[in-house]
Amino acid sequence: MRDDEGTLMDTWNDDTGNDDTLAHMMSARLCHDLVGAAGGITAGLDVLGDDLRAGGGVSAAEALGLLRGSSEQINGRLAFFRRAFGRGNDSLTPGEGGALLGAYLRGGRVALDWEVGEGDGWALPAAGARLMLNLGLAAVAALGRGGTLTARFALLSADRGGLGMALSAEGAGARLADGDTDILLGRAAPAPTPRDVPAHLAAREAKRLGVDIELAMPTPGMVQMAVVLPTMPAAPA
């Protein structure tokens, strides 16, 4: 798989882990998420087939709705993975990042409350954009039973620099897996799995940028994450 951002797997070669394993897990994660989204296409075609065999036309709208919804999910997930897993050099604004994550989550059990706030007018260089997107997806992983992911952005003082991003994942049973906690905090971590690929990629970008990811669980059912993202002025619209 190749586009103008290169392959999804050939660019994570450094000394931070087993890159072959991570590449394989990235591929498995892509297949898992895209196959899940494609299920609506099969369901829509089944409805159309049943309707045609019955000689009716009542179910056509239902079938088209399933097909359209599945197509939107696939497109949204591909667009998200292209920026989160790809290795391009294009910058991304916080608003664009929220739109990508929102498209990825379309039709799922996680609602997104993404407010750019003081991030308006700023862009993130490619590494910061990948950190933003993968950390967002790692937060989604804490909401196995659904819930709401909230994101807020604030400019930090000159001595710290950058744009602060605060994420809050809230829902029934929300929690980070022990492995994800170790990965995101830079501790000894287990080998990558398809589920925790976003946590591994977020931790790698944080290390490259020299920033720390902060985690907290202030109350049961709530997971909080925070990180400082590098910024650059956004290109004029």
> Going by CATH, does the domain composed of 16-233 fall within 3.80.10.10?
no
Model pLDDT, residue 107 = 87
- Residue 155's SS3 state is strand
Model pLDDT, residue 51 = 63
| Helices (H), ranges, the chain | 19-54, 60-84, 94-105, 126-141, 178-184, 197-209
Model pLDDT, residue 49 = 65
Query: Are 206 and 131 a contacting pair, CB within 8 Å?
Result: yes
Residues of the chain with pLDDT under 50: 1-17
Model pLDDT, residue 190 = 78
Which residues, other chains included, contact 158 with Cβ-Cβ below 8 Å and sequence gap of 6+? none
Model pLDDT, residue 5 = 41
Which residues, other chains included, contact 60 with Cβ-Cβ below 8 Å and sequence gap of 6+? 48, 51
Task: Enter the tokens of residue 165.
Answer: 């991003």
Q: Using the structure block, give the residue that is written with the tokens 């586009």.
A: 3
Model pLDDT, residue 8 = 38
Residues paired with 4 in a beta bridge: none
Q: Using the structure block, give the residue that is written with the tokens 């260089």.
A: 125
Model pLDDT, residue 14 = 42
Model pLDDT, residue 216 = 98
Model pLDDT, residue 6 = 40
Model pLDDT, residue 226 = 98
